[in-house]
Structure 1
Amino acid sequence: MGERLAGDPALYFETHIFFCGNRRPEGHPRGDCASKGSEKIRDYMKVRVKELGLQNIRVNQAGCLDRCELGPCAVFYPEGIWYRLDSFEAVDKVIEQHLQRHGRAEELMLP
Structure 2
Amino acid sequence: MKHSYNNVKVDGGVWRLKWEPNKEEYLLSASMFNAAHIIDTSYNVANICQSFGEKINRLYYGADWCHQNDTQFQYDTKSKNKKIISTCSFYDHRLDLFFVNMKI
TM-score class, shorter-chain normalisation, is under 0.3
TM-score norm. by structure 1 comes to 0.25
Structure number with greater CO (CA < 8 Å, separation at least 6) is 1
By percentage of residues, which structure has more helix? 1
By percentage of residues, which structure has more strand? 2
